[in-house]
Structure 1
Amino acid sequence: MILVGGEALVDLVPGPGTRPGELGPLRPLPGGGPYNVAITVGRLGTPVRFLSRLSTDAFGDSLLARLTLSGVDVSLVQRGPEPTTLAIAGIGPDGSARYSFYVQGTADREVDHPGVLPPDVAILSLGTLSLVLEPGASRYERLLREHTGLTVVDPNIRPVLIGDPDAYRRRFTSWLPDIGLLKLSVEDAAWLADGDPDQAVRSWLAHGPVAVVLTRGADGITVRTAAGAEVTVPTPAAAVVDTIGAGDTVHGALLSWLHNAGIGTPDALHAVGADEWRKALHFAARAAAVTVSRAGAEPPYAAELDVQP
């Protein structure tokens, strides 16, 4: 079983026909990095639970219903009267997204520590705003340090919400011994490194993670391992509507692949060779290509892919 912990929110995305820089209708779409990851895993038919706190408002009801429809176990989802976090997305000419956030007093950041995790949880996945916004960030961090199976983290940096970048970078570095797989974009790696991301990846691998997966947009996906392997796969051709949820889809597809390959510990991840990594990355890239072809974070179902995990 995979456990994904973190925020669920609503993306307010420009409606069809809205030109870059133009004010127009906004469409509310479900989102949040960890939420998108859980939806991806569920739609790919892999057992997954979601840990978060959802509002009892209409947005929270919709977010919960979509989890269930996507095959996600919601037994660890908490509810509360606080409002749902909102993210205002601006879409560039190339489909890339930038965000502003409404996070004050919202439900997801008030999540309670769940206590002892169910014994069937092998893989724990964390990331994005939930590792930044207190008090929830400290509660998720505690889970990261307690989990004895495979922990996967995508920091999914949102600089506008990080008041002290140097303090966050130190906190991130403190997580490395407890992370088995680190997944992030090359832009996030550059921000975290405050310099050369390639040099940073080598340093990170020396301090804990078994592997680091870098998404590079149109330049593909790369994995580097502590054992010295490096594999890159290309980005499949796709008619890009927007890139919302693309990295989250890669993350979720990798989780699905790992689960179905029986990899649930750092030791098992150490044994994954270059050929198997290539299969995993191709699967993740194919899934993300479907997501970018649709508005908002709409990961594919297993039946939509011509490659199975």
Structure 2
Amino acid sequence: METEERGDTVESIVVAGQLLVELEHEAGIDAYRQHVGGSVADVAVGLRQLGITCAVVAASGRDHLGDQVRARLARHGVPIRGERGPEPTALVFRGPQGFLSRPHGLEERLRRRPTACPLVSGHVALHAEQPSVWSRSEVALVTETMAEAARGGQLAVSLVANCWHSDRREALLAARDVEQMVPFAHVVRGNWEDLARMYPGWSVRGIADRWLALGPGAVVITGGADGAYARVRNHRIVVPSTPPSVRHARRRESGAAFTAGLLHHLHKGGILTPQGLARPAASEIEQAMEFALSIAAAAGGTAAAGPVSAASRAKPATPGAGLAAR
């Protein structure tokens, strides 16, 4: 195994997950769009564009696809803290409905040996991204790392709980894995489209209440054009949707940008700490959500124009029925 080189800089936020390459087929287009790095890379790049130092903790393949992933992160100044092994880089296919399909032979690629996930003194937060594509051993490893961080009491832990699976059984297994991790997170985010598959028949409020009862200080659920909903102790928060001109932005780009914006605002506000997220004020989470939605809108609306910065964010629009009605 070859280990990625380490620099002298201690990054503020460590993003843990699986580096992969997606081939996405879009409705009405007879072609696949390649997306290098997956949401792990998207969040890390988004944080760097917002001025936050970060690193990725993940294994990367010693192949052409792995080279592409590393090159993308290197262009944005994001180091990889993990092993560069002989296994191929994970390759996933997504259809027009957003579900994950796996070509012949991919199962073994997704069962790569997970890398160690060291916690370095000086980090501010550990962010875990995209658990639905992890193997069982990877779920166990990152859960253990989150638990270690939580026990230490010095590192804020953030989790994005998602599900690419259209298969009912796989979606329910994803929910089970997520609930193993939620108790060790200080803030958890989910997307309603995913959660509706993971928790069939549940409402947004019901899921948020369930997760909050497991231990985090804040739960945030996003719903695209329906804006965002959050739950903190004794408070429920609804934030308006983004402007109509960017409501149909690619979900991946806008979702990762929201996560980066949320972490950025919490960090800059001094709230991205175990103490700050133990019982956060509703106003603090609401402001972070508003900022994150504006960053997501800017990312979706200006993706071709270049990097997104805090200065380029869009203004929220008037809310409709929103997620609170679901």
Q: TM-score range by the shorter chain?
A: 0.7 to 0.9
Are 1:12 and 2:23 matched, yes or no? Answer: yes
Are 1:86 and 2:52 matched, yes or no? Answer: no
Quote how far apart the aligned CAs of 1:46 are: 0.3
Are 1:144 and 2:146 matched, yes or no? Answer: yes
Instruction: Provide the residue aligned with 1:305 in structure 2.
Output: 312
Are 1:186 and 2:192 matched, yes or no? Answer: yes
Are 1:284 and 2:292 matched, yes or no? Answer: yes
Quote how far apart the aligned CAs of 1:139 are: 1.3
Superposition pairs of residues 244-259 of structure 1, within 5 angstroms = 244-259=252-267
- Compared with structure 1, are the counterparts of its residues 141 and 299 closer, same or farther at alpha carbon in structure 2 (3 Å cutoff)? farther
How many corresponding residue pairs?
Answer: 295
- Compared with structure 1, are the counterparts of its residues 41 and 221 closer, same or farther at alpha carbon in structure 2 (3 Å cutoff)? same
Q: Which runs of 5+ in 1 are unaligned?
A: none
Superposition pairs of residues 102-113 of structure 1, within 5 angstroms = 102=103, 103-106=106-109, 109-113=112-116
Provide, for residues 158-212 of structure 1, a one-character-per-residue CA deviation record: whole Å limited to 9, x for no partner: 2257855555434433333211111001233333333223212112212201111
Provide, for residues 80-138 of structure 1, a one-character-per-residue CA deviation record: whole Å limited to 9, x for no partner: 1211222223346xxxx4442454233784222234x1101221111314663133222
Instruction: Provide the residue aligned with 1:54 in structure 2.
Output: 60
Residues 61-70 or 188-197, more deviating: 188-197
Instruction: Provide the residue aligned with 1:41 in structure 2.
Output: 47
TM-score (norm 1): 0.83
Tell me how large the CA RMSD over aligned residues is: 2.8
Question: 2:166, 2:89 → 1: CA distance?
Answer: 19
Provide, for residues 32-66 of structure 1, a one-character-per-residue CA deviation record: whole Å limited to 9, x for no partner: 22222112111211011100111111111111111
Superposition pairs of residues 25-36 of structure 1, within 5 angstroms = 25-36=31-42
Instruction: Provide the residue aligned with 1:235 in structure 2.
Output: 242
Identical pairs, percent: 27
Question: 1:161, 1:55 → 2: CA distance?
Answer: 28
Question: 1:246, 1:207 → 2: CA distance?
Answer: 27
TM-score (norm 2): 0.79
Question: 1:182, 1:299 → 2: CA distance?
Answer: 29
Structure 2 residue aligned with 1:219, among 226, 251, 257? 226
Residues 100-109 or 215-224, more deviating: 100-109
Instruction: Provide the residue aligned with 2:8 in structure 1.
Output: none
